[in-house]
Amino acid sequence: MELKTVKKQFNEILKNSGVCDAENNVNKILMHVLNINKATLLITNYISSKNFKKAKKLVLKRAKHFPLQYLLKQVQFCGNTIFVNKNVLIPRNETEQLCEMVFKTAENKTVLDLCCGSGCLGLGIKRNANADVTLSDVSNKALRVAKKNAKLNGLEVKFVKSNLFENISGKFDIIVSNPPYIKTDDLKNLQVEVGFEPVLALDGHDDGLFFYKKIIDEAQKFLNDFGEIYFEIGLGQDKTITKLLSKHFDCIKIIKDYYNKNRFIYAKLKEKVC
């Protein structure tokens, strides 16, 4: 079959279903099915009936707003190929920015990635810095994905199954976390694609701040002197989280993402007074 005709057909299916950036979605699905890169796709003229059927099945699923990343089963993140499935949150561009902030200061330090999900943050830090990294999550399914990603990318890190700090031992130089931060009542108003992601990784309880409160309340016990903490946060949460941090932390900084929104918070543990 002529690939030009197939692309046109697939584009129409996705456009009529209201999928944004239909052409890019189609190209990525075709590259995935044909196992080729973008340059090769540009010079490919035909597709077999077998591959056409495979690609169309994925396109029809995407037309129902099933996330593209789950269809392709992977995301590129801070130099790693991250496997994703329905048991973990899909890594976002904003979170990659958080990863970059941490790995630039993590050389020869101990790092805890709390609520690690797919492991994208901790593994991205390990890929780019000579750091001792521990990944932790309450979900066995998420940890299986994170362990798969460590093996996939040839990275040696530690794993702990823990409900926040419950099973964490020792102290760290850096704690980084992208915890669930969406208000429970707001979950029903999210984009259709987000509805396919695990609620456990999204639901920040009534005010969206449940996990920040828990983490900040205990974090100082698990940080070395002058230890640092980094959070990704939801829109409008910066002032409240800053206030929560101020009890045990100083040097608090709110950092904007690529879209000029207050998306991250950094803080350093206060000096202990003898």
Evaluate if residue 242 carries a pLDDT over 70: yes
Task: Kindly state whether residues 106 and 191 are assigned to the same domain.
Answer: yes
CB atoms within 10 A of CB 97: 17
Task: Kindly state whether residues 214 and 147 are assigned to the same domain.
Answer: yes
In DSSP terms, 256 is beta-bridged to 262
* Overall domain count for the chain: 2
Residues 155, 125: contact at Cβ < 8 Å? Answer: no
Distance CA 3, CA 48 (A): 9
Question: Which pLDDT band holds residue 198 (cuts at 50, 70, 90)?
Answer: confident
**Boundary (domain end) residue, out of 12, 29, 64:** 64
Q: Is residue 274 part of a domain?
A: no
Question: Which pLDDT band holds residue 272 (cuts at 50, 70, 90)?
Answer: low
Evaluate if residue 197 carries a pLDDT over 90: no
pLDDT of residue 273: 46
Domain housing 168? 79-269
Evaluate if residue 190 carries a pLDDT over 90: no
Q: Would residue 11 be called left, alpha or beta, if left means φ above 0 and alpha means ψ between -120 and 50 degrees?
A: alpha
Task: Kindly state whether residues 166 and 118 are assigned to the same domain.
Answer: yes
Question: Which pLDDT band holds residue 203 (cuts at 50, 70, 90)?
Answer: confident
Question: Which pLDDT band holds residue 274 (cuts at 50, 70, 90)?
Answer: very low
Evaluate if residue 164 carries a pLDDT over 70: yes
| Residue 203 DSSP class | B
Q: Is residue 69 part of a domain?
A: no
Task: Kindly state whether residues 7 and 141 are assigned to the same domain.
Answer: no
Segment 82-92 mean pLDDT: 95
